[in-house]
Structure formats: C-alpha cells, structure tokens
C-alpha cells in the first residue's frame, strides 16, 4: 500500500534515484536535494511503497510584495498606500518546484495525492497562488496540471539549460478556498 510521508535526510539517496529515473535533464543533485529537505521554505513530500520512494513533490514558499491601485482593498486585506497612489500588499506565493512518480506507478493518482497534500500545506502557510514551470512538450504533466486547476499564463523561451521553452502555469488557492466556503463543498 502506498503511504505518504514528509521527507527527511534519511531518504536522500532514494529521492535522488527517483529524480534521476524521472528527469533525463535537470534532475536535482544530492546536495541540492539536501538543501531543500532541510530548508524552512521548502516542503518535500514523498510517496512510499514499503521502503521504496516512488513519488516526490517539492514546493517552495516566498514572500512577494504586490502593487495594486488603491480603492480596491478587501475587508481583511492589509494594504499600505504610497505617495504614488499604489498600494502594496504582502502575499505568499507557492512554487510547485518538482513533482514526479516512478514510471511503473503512474496513472494511479499518486501525483494527485502528493499535490493535494502540498496544496493543504501551502494553504496553512497562507499561500494564495501557486506557480510552476513545465517543459513545453511535456504533455502528460501539462494535462495533469490542467486537470488540477492550473492555467497557462506565459511561455518563457529558452528557459531550460537545453534551450527548451517553459510554459508558466498558475493556480489561485485563495479563490478555491473562497469557493469552498461559498458552496459549502
């Protein structure tokens, strides 16, 4: 049976092996993975079957200062108005940095479970919007993200080390929460 756990440094060799099996270019090094696993700004979640790591997702959070025209301030939102007439509002953005499932376990909802857990953790940390980049030709991943409410925002040319373009995708979490409250679902 597949179980889901938060990563710690014990799992690093197995996460690295999974990364190398799933990504032919741009797989994370052991060092990079270690930094992510111990970082307060990263969330590393694993799917395990017995002792095998068969899925992994990595999310990052960062603070962002946003600008808006004044006069559209929501009831519970904390804005500061500046001389320019613009207002700033700090928000926390979540980045879906990586998600992968071992090939022989795909299409069994494992990535769906990992993403759903990551979104819950993002929500508890105050994340309102999730962003990600995906290789232009990675149709399984693009379909997966679309199915889970991400929409395509931009194409970033020459984004990856091998010159491939990225599709930038986004999902608004705050909106989903408001919808849940409104519809009671």
Q: Give me the residues that bind ligand COA (CB under 6 A), please.
A: 22, 99-101, 106-112, 134, 138-141, 143-144, 147
- Measured distance CA(123)–CA(173) in Å, rounded: 7
Q: How far is the CB of 1 from ligand COA (least distance, A)?
A: 15
Nearer to ligand COA, 163 or 184 (CB): 163
128-160 in b/e form (b: 16+ CB < 10 A) is: bbbbbbbbbeeeebbebbeebbbeeeeeeeebe
Nearer to ligand COA, 87 or 115 (CB): 115
Q: How far is the CB of 162 from ligand COA (least distance, A)?
A: 14
Nearer to ligand COA, 55 or 128 (CB): 55
Q: How far is the CB of 100 from ligand COA (least distance, A)?
A: 4
């Amino acid at each position: 049976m597949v179980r889901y756990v938060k990563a710690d440094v014990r799992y690093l060799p197995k996460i690295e092996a999974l990364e190398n099996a799933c990504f032919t270019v741009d797989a994370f090094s052991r060092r990079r993975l270690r930094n992510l696993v111990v970082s307060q700004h990263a969330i590393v979640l694993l799917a395990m079957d017995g002792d095998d790591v068969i899925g992994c997702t990595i999310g990052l959070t960062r603070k962002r200062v946003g600008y808006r025209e004044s006069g559209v301030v929501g009831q519970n939102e904390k804005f500061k108005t500046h001389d320019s007439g613009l207002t700033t509002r700090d928000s926390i953005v979540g980045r879906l940095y990586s998600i992968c499932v071992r090939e022989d376990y795909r299409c069994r909802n494992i990535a769906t479970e990992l993403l759903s857990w990551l979104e819950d953790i993002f929500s508890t940390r105050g994340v309102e919007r999730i962003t990600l980049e995906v290789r232009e030709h990675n149709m399984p991943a693009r379909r997966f993200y679309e199915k889970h409410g991400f929409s395509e925002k931009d194409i970033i040319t020459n984004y990856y080390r091998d010159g491939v373009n990225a599709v930038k995708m986004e999902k608004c979490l705050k909106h989903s929460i408001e919808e849940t409250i409104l519809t009671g679902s």
